[in-house]
Amino acid sequence: MGSSKQLCKTLKMKVIDAHNAGEGYKKIAKRCQLAVSTVRNVIKRWQIRGTVEVKMRSGRPRKLSDRTARMLVRKTNQNPHLTAKNLQEDLADSGVVVHRSTVQRCLHRQGLHGRVSRRKPYLRPHHKIQRLKYATGHLQKPDAFWKQVLWTDEVKIELFGHNQQRHVWRKKGAAFHEKNTLPTIKHGGGSIMLWGCVAASGTGNIARVEGRMDSTKYQQILEANITPSVKKLKLKRGWLLQQDNDPKHTSKSTMEYLKRRRLKVLEWPSQSPDLNIIENLWVDL
């Protein structure tokens, strides 16, 4: 048995008598067919309270049993996106009728709280391999290396409506566990697109993208904004341009443009916006 409160008084006294006779925990546990931890708890409570009687609990008994609480935790582990109302309805189907707030309090006691799902790029196995390769290959790069990187990116800003949010039940520190997140893809609706750049020394130019962004327009943005930004940020010779692997960034014409302009590009794993420091600035928009 895992808890001393499930034991009868006679068995508890048998444990105490054996302890008083000088027997060790393991010997008592074997003779009484109990777990060592159970024996230890019985003796500890007897030493503290001077009795093996169950201490009377204060307040109103909880409406949900420990077994029901474990069932709720199991369900949220299987599907963190279930709402308190969903769980309330599941309980009602099994004959347990409680208020939704009772379900919430029960989960809170188990360390589970409703949180907005974090969004992160959808990663296939080869994306994960590429990200690990990038991380291990750049782990020992000195600060001087990163200070010479010009980070670039485009962002879409929603002017009307909002991005749908979903909540999950999760414990502290588990925000980015895969089952607690919502996968995102690169493309989606938006009313304004901006291109911007940033380095360790500050922010560079920002430009609004008019109409549909293609390779030609991307090259025009680089032509108009890269050199002024590099001068403003005082990047030294040999600086690196960071860009993601969007098709317009890696098209044949763009690669030829970069080669013609002698722009060195930082190796970059696909589906990795979280590795780009400019994302921290886009959040403010």
Give the pLDDT of residue 24.
92
When pLDDT is averaged across residues 79-99 and rounded to a whole number, the result is 91
Closest CA to 274 of 249, 244, 239: 244
Q: Which residue has the higher pLDDT, 146 or 62?
A: 146
Residue 269 to residue 245: CA distance in whole angstroms: 8
In a domain, 59, yes or no: no
- Same-domain check for residues 216 and 83: no
Position 4 scores a pLDDT of: 39
Q: Are residues 43 and 141 in the same domain?
A: no
User: What is the reported pLDDT for 56?
Assistant: 64
**219 and 80 housed in the same domain:** no
- CATH number for position 93: 1.10.10
Among the ranges given (36-50, 84-98, 162-176, 257-271), the one the predictor scored with the smallest mean pLDDT: 162-176
Residue 60 within any structural domain of the chain: no
pLDDT average, residue stretch 69-76: 92
Same domain, 153 and 223: yes
d(CA 238, CA 65): 66
Q: Is the pLDDT reported for residue 98 higher than 70?
A: yes
Same domain, 142 and 261: yes
User: Which pLDDT score is estimated for 201?
Assistant: 96
Q: Do the Cβ atoms of 229 and 190 come closer than 8 Å?
A: no
pLDDT exceeds cutoff 60 at 5: no
In a domain, 56, yes or no: no
DSSP single-letter state for residue 14: H
Cα(55)–Cα(166) distance, integer angstroms: 43
Q: How many CB atoms lie within 10 A of CB 215?
A: 18
Entry pTM? 0.55
Residue-range definition of the domain harbouring residue 32 = 4-49
Q: Which residue carries 């327009």 as its tokens? A: 217
What is the rounded average pLDDT for all residues in the chain?
A: 86
More reliable by pLDDT, 122 or 271: 271
Question: Which residue is it, tokens 């503290």?
Answer: 48
pLDDT, mean of residues 78-83: 89
| Whether residue 169 sits in one domain with residue 98 | no
The burial class, CB within 10 Å (0-12 / 13-18 / 19+), for 207 is middle
Q: Looking at the domain assignment, is residue 116 inside a domain?
A: no
Q: What is the pLDDT of residue 2?
A: 41
Q: Range with the lowest mean pLDDT among 81-95, 107-121, 185-199?
A: 185-199
- DSSP annotation of 165 reads -
Residues 128 and 146 in one domain: yes
pLDDT at 68: 92
For residue 180, the model assigns a pLDDT of 65
Query: How far apart are alpha carbons 14 and 145 in whole angstroms?
Result: 71
Helix, strand, coil share (%) of the chain residues, nearest 5 = 45, 15, 40
Query: Could you give phi then psi for residue 228, rounded to 5 degrees?
Result: -60, -35
Whether residues 43 and 136 share a domain: the answer is no
Average pLDDT over residues 204-210: 94
Q: Give the pLDDT confidence score for residue 172 in this predicted structure.
A: 75
Give the up-direction half-sphere exposure of residue 79: CA atoms within 13 A in the CB hemisphere: 7
What pLDDT score does 187 carry? 46
**% the chain with pLDDT above 90:** 50
Are 218 and 104 in a shared domain?
no
Q: Which two tokens stand for residue 193?
A: 């697109």
Query: What is the percentage of the chain residues whose pLDDT exceeds 70?
Result: 84
Residue 160: what pLDDT?
47
Tell me the pLDDT tens digit for each residue of 118-174.
666 778 899 999 999 999 999 999 999 999 999 999 988 765 444 556 666 667 777
pLDDT at 70 over 50: yes
> How many domains would you assign to the chain?
3
